[in-house]
Amino acid sequence: MFVKSLKTAGKLLAFTGAAFAASLGTAQAEYPEKPITLVIPFGAGGSHDLNSRVVTSIIPTYLNQAMIVRLTPGAGGQKGSQEVASSEADGYTLLFSHNYLDMLKPHVDNLPYNAMEDFIPIARVNYAPIAVIVNADSPFQTFEDMIKASEAEPRSVSMAHSGNWGALFVPAAQIMKSRGVQLNLVPYEGGGPATQAMLSGDADVTMGFPSVIGPLLEAGKIRVLATSGPERIYDDVPTLSESGVEGDIGFMHRVVLAPAGTPDDVVAKLEAAFTALQEDKTYKRLMGRLGENVDLMLGDEYQALREAQSVAYKELVDAITQ
């Protein structure tokens, strides 16, 4: 037992040591010559915070500098984004954002920055597909049952979401738009409380990421009605596109952005580091343990997706709001 604890202590030391050594690494004339700040526009303990802890604990190995997390929550993510937008484009201040904050927010709020012009994507770190779920004893056996019920009586089906224009709200709005139905949208402070509301019967439907709902599904407490993405995640559950809800919907893309005008060689360095990270065994293992996938998409490729998102979200917002 004692040997075991020594081993764990050794691993611990090696881990912190690596982070430390990297952060203090020998001085170089080229980028990065000081620690890089990763701004998270959300609060502590959220999924972005946890994901970033994994990234920043491994990436120093490839950048030879530490990456420091700076939490700047406020105004639904606008605050942190604004700070990075107005910071110097030298690659020392980066933003860890997601597609809804990045591309949808500009269409619903009057922002102090221009998302498309002020930021360039560095890397999409990973993404999570969403699933529409109901309580196991719900009368809705299929997605169509739910649609029928809300067609019969608009707003009779209540759907718990995690905040306006957030990860659960947007897919719901897209369903409402594509299928021409009205759901009663009830806000909760995050995906966890929303799921709990559905389990306790306060709300009829909610959504969740597969990594989160896994245990509930195995225990037979919930039923999945539909999942996002082009392919089925569960063999007997249709995708949203099969159910008549088209487009890039229900994906949370976690993406690292840099201020526009960041020099090309800096971007290249960062992209190289994220590419190397992608292959790192420890990184993969840790992300896997968090229940997240590892699916890197580099700047240019994601930029194309971003532009498409911007158009799609604008259409969505214009179509459903007045």
What's the CA gap between 149 and 319, in Å, rounded? 23
Query: For residues 123, 234, 287 and 45, what is the CA-based torsion angle, rounded to 10 degrees?
Result: 90
Q: Which helix (H) or strand (E) holds 2?
A: helix 2-24
Cβ neighbours of residue 14 under 8 Å, at least 6 residues apart? none
Q: How far is the CB of 230 from another protein (least distance, A)?
A: 27
Q: Is 54 in the site for another protein (CB under 8 A)?
A: yes
Draw the binding track, 162-201, toward another protein (x: CB under 8 A; -: no contact). Answer: -xxx-------x--x-----x-xxxxxx--xx-xxx-xx-
Window 209-268: residues binding another protein (CB under 8 A): 211-212, 214-216, 218-219, 221
Q: Tell which one of 17, 114, 141, 202 touches another protein (CB under 8 A).
A: 202
Looking at residue 239, the DSSP 8-state letter turns out to be B
Q: How far is the CB of 301 from another protein (least distance, A)?
A: 28
Strand-strand pairing, 119-129 and 297-298: antiparallel
Q: How far is the CB of 245 from another protein (least distance, A)?
A: 15
Name the residue nearer to another protein (CB basis): 1 or 231.
1
Helices (H), 165-298: 169-179, 191-199, 210-218, 264-279, 281-290
Burial 197-214 (b: 16+ CB within 10 A, else e): bbbeeebbbbbbbbebbe
Name the residue nearer to another protein (CB basis): 184 or 241.
184
Q: CA dist 233 to 93, 134, 237, 240, Å?
A: 36, 17, 7, 11
Name the residue nearer to another protein (CB basis): 176 or 207.
176
Window 135-164: residues binding another protein (CB under 8 A): 155-156, 158, 163-164
Q: Tell which one of 18, 73, 229, 278 touches another protein (CB under 8 A).
A: 73
Question: Is residue 127 within 8 Å of 254, Cβ to Cβ?
Answer: yes
User: Angle CA(128)–CA(214)–CA(156) in degrees, nearest 5?
Assistant: 80
Q: Is 29 in the site for another protein (CB under 8 A)?
A: no
Name the residue nearer to another protein (CB basis): 233 or 317.
317
Window 74-113: residues binding another protein (CB under 8 A): 74-76, 78-79, 82-83, 108-109, 112
Q: How far is the CB of 139 from another protein (least distance, A)?
A: 17
Q: What is the DSSP string of 40-71?
A: ESS-TTSHHHHHHHHHHHHTHHHHSS-EEEEE
Q: Phi/psi at 177 (nearest 5 deg)?
A: -70, -50
**Position 5, amino acid:** S
- Tokens read off for 6: 């020594």
**Position 150, amino acid:** S
Q: How far is the CB of 268 from another protein (least distance, A)?
A: 22
Name the residue nearer to another protein (CB basis): 70 or 314.
70
Name the residue nearer to another protein (CB basis): 40 or 297.
40
Name the residue nearer to another protein (CB basis): 30 or 289.
289
Name the residue nearer to another protein (CB basis): 215 or 230.
215
Q: Is 294 in the site for another protein (CB under 8 A)?
A: no
| Beta-ladder partners of 184 | 158
Q: Which range binds another protein by CB under 8 A, 40-48, 121-129, 251-259, 298-306? A: 40-48
Q: Tell which one of 36, 59, 63, 71 touches another protein (CB under 8 A).
A: 71
User: Angle CA(289)–CA(293)–CA(297) in degrees, nearest 5?
Assistant: 145
Q: Is 68 in the site for another protein (CB under 8 A)?
A: yes
Q: Is 315 in the site for another protein (CB under 8 A)?
A: no
Give how many residues touch another protein by CB under 8 A: 85
